[in-house]
Chains A and B, each alone.
Chain A
Amino acid sequence: EVQLVESGGGSVRPGGSLRLSCAASGFTFSNYEMNWVRQAPGKGLEWVSYIGRSDKDIHYADSVKGRFIISRDNAKNSLYLQMNSLRVEDTALYYCARERLPCSGDCLDYWGQGTLVTVSS
C-alpha cells in the first residue's frame, strides 16, 4: 500500500526556519517525481515545489523561490522541504504528493495527510 507521511510542521516566528519531511513507503520511491503542495486555512490548493527522480530537475513557485529548498534521499525513501525566512503567509497545511507514472503534467495520484505550519509572532 502506498503511504506518504509528512512530519516536521509546527509553530514558528516570522523569519524562522522549519524542515518538513515526507516518508514514503509501498512503492519504489526513486522511480517517482514528487511535489509539495500547500493549503492555507480555509483556502485553495497552491503548488509549492517539484523534484525529479534525482535532484537534477527542481522547480519552485514564485512565492517561495529563494526561501525554500526541496530535496530527496532515495536511499531513505524520503522527501524534504527546507523552509527559511518564513512569513505569516506561509501558514498552511503542507502536503507531499507523488506524480503518477506515466504522466504529462502534475497527475498527483497519492497524497499524504499533511503537516501544519503556523507562522505567527
Chain B
Amino acid sequence: GESVGLHLPTLSVQEGDNSIINCAYSNSASDYFIWYKQESGKGPQFIIDIRSNMDKRQGQRVTVLLNKTVKHLSLQIAATQPGDSAVYFCAENIALDSSYKLIFGSGTRLLVRP
C-alpha cells in the first residue's frame, strides 16, 4: 500500500552540528516531494520541496536530496539550532483524478541539545 517513512525515530544532535533526516517513499510515480516541520501544538510548516526531475535542492541551511533509484529522500540541516527542534515529515505527491494529495510519513523527532 501507500507508505512514506513508516517509523517515528528520534534524532538527537548537538547544537551547531549538522542533522540528516531520512525518509523512504513507495510510489515510483510521485513527481513532487515536500519536507514539513511541525512544532508542538502547531500545524505542519513548509520547509523545502523538490521535483522528481532534480536530485538536490538547497535552501537556507537546508538541503533536500532525492534518490529515485532507491526511493529515498533526506533532509539535511546545517548548523542545527535549538529552534530546529520539532517533528519533521516528508510527503510525496500523488495524482488524483482532478487534483493531488500528499502521503505523509510518520515523521522524525529532532532534538537539539544546547
Do these two chains interact?
A: no
